[in-house]
Amino acid sequence: MPRSPLWFCSLAVVFAALLFSQEKGDVSKGKAQGKGNNLIRPLADLEKDLRGKLERIKVHGKSLEANLEGDSADRDVFVYLPPSYHREPNRRYPVVYTLHGYGLHAEQWVGFANFASLEEDVAAGTAKEMILVAPDAFSLHNGSFYSNSQTTGDWETFLAVELVGYIDSHYRTLANRASRGLVGHSMGGYGTFRLGMKHPEVYSSLYSMSACCMLDTGEVTPALAQMEAIKTKEDAAKVPFGQKSPLARAAAWSADPKNPPLFFDLPVKDGKPQAVIAAKWMANSLMVMLEQYASSLKKMKAIQMNVGLQDGLLQTNRDMDQALTQAGVAHNFETFEGDHNGQVGLNFATKVLPFFSAQLAFGPEVKKK
């Protein structure tokens, strides 16, 4: 069985673990939690067993054009088509859009979530055939945070409008919100809530897996203070993966078109906190966005969120669960035995895919008379 070298898998798990370590403000924790086991299934291995088809396409994002940090506006997108897709040329399918975490590429995410498990689920009767889509949001500083920034591009519009438009016009989808779901892990869980808040007309069900960024205060931690020394793209390229996420957040949340070559401001300058910039990070936190977008989330047919009991993000996810309850937004919150990364594949197979199979509309929309 062809396998990528072990270091590849371990490294990728390190990437996914980064966010967690950054949120704790403790760089030393930025180590692999998966102990080098193969949490990320190599694509060649995954494809070998597939009865359906995994297409790798490029989708151009007009909303991403001219982003100041120079990320490509032509994005890799993986599209999984179930086995019956080519056999039944008139059948249309619901689509689940999936968002990867910080430090990952879409290619790794497809193996991390293990899209192949959908076929096992279908065989076992726990899920139904659907299309899965995974856009790549890896950026100069390893992750776009799915935000709307002139420095990284307008990821909200790219994903909710352009990508959905592209998939609906190139594949046999059930092109309505009742048949569209959104799921993501970590930074992708953040993106799931964010896009759900801003575009309730596009998606009808949300699944947040171990979401990050519930309340980012822009507090000047040692890790953040170190970032002041980074002045150029070359400096940034040398920053170890485990310490890079503040650069990505600044690019996503505190863009500054007048501050080349990185085009962002940090919540720290000359060692002193910058309240105006910290406010921008705060304003992009899900916990504080919630009240202004409660009316959007209330339109969802179903919202599910989970987090591992050994995940450093446990408490902030519990806080979000409570905040959603307080705001009167119907949702389910679930914890599981595990850390930030170890259960992603298992949860995708046993929780996420069955959830969307139950919540999405698998037939044409019935118009109300």
Partner 1 sequence: MMHCTRVLAALAAFAACVAAQTSTPSAGTYSRIKVHGKSLEGNLSGEPADRDVSIYLPPSYQSQSNRRYPVVYLLHGYTNSDVGWFGPESRGSFANGNTMTAAADRAFIGGGTSELILVMPNAYTMYQGSMFSNSVTTGDWEGFIAKDLVAYMDSHYRTIPERASRGLAGHSMGGYGTVRIAAKYPQVFSSIYILSACCLTASLNPNPQSSAKAEALKSPEEARGAERGLATLLAEAAAWSPNPQKPPFYFDLPAKDGKLQPAVVAKWVANAPLAMIDQYVPSFKTLRIGMDVGDKDGLAASNRELSRVLNGYGIPTAFEVYDGDHTNHIVDRMEKVVLPFFAKTLAAR
Candidates 226-234, 238-246, 247-255, 355-363 — which segment interacts with partner 1 by CB under 8 A? 247-255
Least distance CB 273 / partner 1 (angstroms):
9
* Closer to partner 1 by Cβ: residue 11 or 294: 294
Examine residue 152 and tell whether it contacts partner 1 (CB under 8 A).
Answer: no
Burial class (CB in 10 A: 0-12, 13-18, 19+), 123: exposed
Describe the crossing of helices 314-326 and 286-297 by its angle, rounded to 10 degrees: 40
Examine residue 368 and tell whether it contacts partner 1 (CB under 8 A).
Answer: no
Examine residue 99 and tell whether it contacts partner 1 (CB under 8 A).
Answer: no
Least distance CB 194 / partner 1 (angstroms):
10
Instruction: Indicate which single residue of 131, 282, 305, 352 sits in contact with partner 1 (rule: CB under 8 A).
Output: 282
Burial class (CB in 10 A: 0-12, 13-18, 19+), 310: middle
Instruction: Indicate which single residue of 124, 279, 330, 358 sits in contact with partner 1 (rule: CB under 8 A).
Output: 279
Place of tokens 């370590």: 21
Residue among 120, 122, 114, 117 nearest 93 (CA): 122
Instruction: Indicate which single residue of 276, 309, 346, 358 sits in contact with partner 1 (rule: CB under 8 A).
Output: 276
Least distance CB 222 / partner 1 (angstroms):
20
Candidates 82-90, 106-114, 221-229, 250-258 — which segment interacts with partner 1 by CB under 8 A? 250-258
Least distance CB 247 / partner 1 (angstroms):
16
End-to-end CA distance of the chain: 55
* Closer to partner 1 by Cβ: residue 295 or 332: 295
Q: In terms of DSSP H, where are the helices of the chain?
A: 6-23, 43-49, 84-87, 106-113, 117-124, 155-157, 164-170, 187-198, 222-226, 233-238, 245-253, 275-283, 286-297, 314-326, 344-347, 353-359
Examine residue 202 and tell whether it contacts partner 1 (CB under 8 A).
Answer: no
Residue span 59-88 as binding mask against partner 1, x where in contact by CB under 8 A, dash where not: ----x-------------------------
Q: To which H or E segment does residue 153 belong?
A: strand 153-154
Examine residue 204 and tell whether it contacts partner 1 (CB under 8 A).
Answer: no
Residue among 224, 225, 226, 184 nearest 206 (CA): 184
Q: To which H or E segment does residue 206 belong?
A: strand 205-209
* Closer to partner 1 by Cβ: residue 17 or 297: 297
Instruction: Indicate which single residue of 45, 168, 256, 310 sits in contact with partner 1 (rule: CB under 8 A).
Output: 256
* Closer to partner 1 by Cβ: residue 276 or 346: 276
Burial class (CB in 10 A: 0-12, 13-18, 19+), 104: buried
Candidates 105-113, 238-246, 292-300, 352-360 — which segment interacts with partner 1 by CB under 8 A? 292-300
Examine residue 215 and tell whether it contacts partner 1 (CB under 8 A).
Answer: yes
The residues, ordered by sequence, that sit 6+ positions from 314 with a Cβ below 8 Å of its Cβ are 307, 308, 335
Instruction: Indicate which single residue of 71, 129, 136, 154 sits in contact with partner 1 (rule: CB under 8 A).
Output: 154
Examine residue 161 and tell whether it contacts partner 1 (CB under 8 A).
Answer: no
Examine residue 201 and tell whether it contacts partner 1 (CB under 8 A).
Answer: no
Instruction: Indicate which single residue of 326, 363, 364, 365 sits in contact with partner 1 (rule: CB under 8 A).
Output: 326
The residues, ordered by sequence, that sit 6+ positions from 343 with a Cβ below 8 Å of its Cβ are 308, 336, 337
Rounded-to-10 torsion of CA 230, 235, 236, 239: -90
Q: How far, in Å, are 59, 95, 163, 338, 353 from residue 350 at the CA level?
A: 30, 18, 27, 15, 7
Instruction: Indicate which single residue of 142, 285, 304, 306 sits in contact with partner 1 (rule: CB under 8 A).
Output: 285
* Chain contacts with partner 1 (rule: CB under 8 A): 63, 147-150, 154, 157, 215, 217, 253-258, 275-276, 278-280, 282-285, 287-289, 291-295, 326-328
